[in-house]
Amino acid sequence: MNRQSILYLRCLSIAILCTFLGLSGLSAQLKVSDNHRYIIQADGTPFFWMGDTAWELFHRLTKEETDLYFKTRAAQGFNVIQAVALAEMDGLHTPNAYGEIPLENDDPLRPREAFFQHIDYVIDLAAQYHLYIGFLPTWGDKLNKSTWGMGPEIFNAANAYEYGKWLGLRYKNKKNIIWILGGDRTPRDEKDVNVWRRMAAGIQDGVGGKDRAFMTFHPQPNNLEDGGSSKWFHQDEWLDLNMFQTGHCRENNVWDRLAVAYNKTPAKPVLDGEPIYEDHPVCFNAKDLGTSSAYDVRKNAYLDVFSGACGHTYGCHDIWQMYSPQRTPVNGPHFPWYVAMDLPGANQMRYLRHLMTSRPMPDRVPDPTMVQNLLQAHNRIQATRGNDYLMVYSSQGFPFELSLGKISGEQLQSYWYEPKTGKSIKGDLITNKGIRQFVPPSQGYGNDWVLVLDDAGKKFAELMYPGHN
């Protein structure tokens, strides 16, 4: 079967599914919850960020390919697509799918209308599928080329402000935009910090004020004590959300990294915006360490969210670069993007979103003190709770002892939830006191489980992903 046949059949099947799910219409402006830990929509509805890194989306895909990609991701439960206007892969000089480049003579003050008309189309198309665009005005190599990236460095404080203002004015009425500065770069010095601040100021002035621009910053991986974006911008009023990049290695103490920013004042939501990707060379060393699996990305996602993150961004090595056989591969992708969309880790992200939105989100906090044996990164056990429920993630199905009595209810309804399938096993009623051991249904590498204990009196919905029996 040729590529065109694959694309046609996928478009047809996904279109039917999206129609069934009712995925159409515009998204609503996002803001920070009253407790400053979560994201909500304008009407107060909690918003669980389920993102995908599609960095080269604007740059490489046609309108028809973009439609296929959006249909697929919407049906899989994603709601944020992270993409870059001035892209990493020679985004200034290599044209997009329609032969257009973004700037005249690499000048941010001279954007080319035809290029941004395509971005307009993509943003509007995303809204039809209830997808937010995590919009990066530029990849970071256009400010700091660093040791990789093609650059050139074109931004300074003055043109960053004007470029940001131009974008803000252009998209001020688009309610499905999340502004993401940084583009995988750590500021070298205060001069770089100021450039990003000026771009943020320009965006805010363009859209008509802070309340109309939900904004964050996407850094490179940095030191544990740095706290991701909070190292430079935590006190900045434009930064609504702290973002991390935990990188592409397997065993990562994400709970400690999140805690640095989570515990800063004033409180702000925290998110891992670039974790280990599916089908990525582990630590960029496929020869010795292999490539990452669905379990690797799933484990990172649950540890992130159970450590206090307000959502999660998935990533796939074949997708971020929109690899196809006609493209020069970067670091050994294995599948064309239109095949990689169906890798198991991507499909399993819907189960994470389903679980986290099945119970009240805004009162949920990380609470490792409930677990007596937290273990290490490779077999970590992580706990989180709301007022009326608790969840414990056992990354390899190891037994654990749990201190009860921290949530409401005399009796607790128990479930085992399987992250790789979205299936659940309803268990016994448990008295809500004392220390009790719990033994997951299976154990070993790839056998991760979530224990869910509900205040039985609240009668929450049973935990089973729709369509499972």
pLDDT tens digits for range 391-423: 999 999 999 999 999 999 999 999 999 999 999
What phi and psi, each to the nearest 5 degrees, are found at residue 135?
A: -95, 115
Structure tokens at 222: 């940095």
CATH topology of domain 365-458: Immunoglobulin-like (2.60.40)
> CB of 423 within 8 A of CB of 355?
no
> What's the mean pLDDT in 50-77?
98
Say yes or no to pLDDT of 16 above 80.
no
> CB of 59 within 8 A of CB of 327?
no
What phi and psi, each to the nearest 5 degrees, are found at residue 425?
A: -120, 115
> CB of 449 within 8 A of CB of 421?
no
Can you give the residue ranges of every domain in the chain? Answer: 3-357, 365-458
Say yes or no to pLDDT of 255 above 60.
yes
Say yes or no to pLDDT of 21 above 90.
no
> What's the mean pLDDT in 117-140?
98
Count of CB atoms within 10 A of residue 376's CB?
A: 10
What pLDDT is stored for residue 358 in this prediction? Answer: 96
What pLDDT is stored for residue 265 in this prediction? Answer: 96
What pLDDT is stored for residue 240 in this prediction? Answer: 98
The model's confidence at residue 218, banded by pLDDT at 50, 70 and 90, is: very high
> What's the mean pLDDT in 241-261?
90
Torsion, Cα 405 408 409 415, to 10 degrees, reads -80
Q: Average pLDDT, whole number, for the chain?
A: 92
Say yes or no to pLDDT of 135 above 60.
yes
- Segment 311-369, tens digit of pLDDT: 999 999 999 999 999 999 999 999 999 999 999 999 999 999 999 999 999 999 999 99
CATH number of 3-357: 3.20.20.80
390 bridge partner residues: 385, 453
Q: CA–CA separation, 294 vs 16, rounded Å?
A: 26
- Segment 95-109, tens digit of pLDDT: 999 999 999 999 999
Q: CA–CA separation, 194 vs 33, rounded Å?
A: 28
> What's the mean pLDDT in 225-251?
93
Share of residues in the chain with pLDDT > 90 (%)? 84
Higher pLDDT, 148 or 329: 329
Share of residues in the chain with pLDDT > 70 (%)? 94
Say yes or no to pLDDT of 8 above 70.
no
Structure tokens at 381: 């056990």
Q: CA–CA separation, 1 vs 339, rounded Å?
A: 12
> What global pTM score does this model have?
0.93
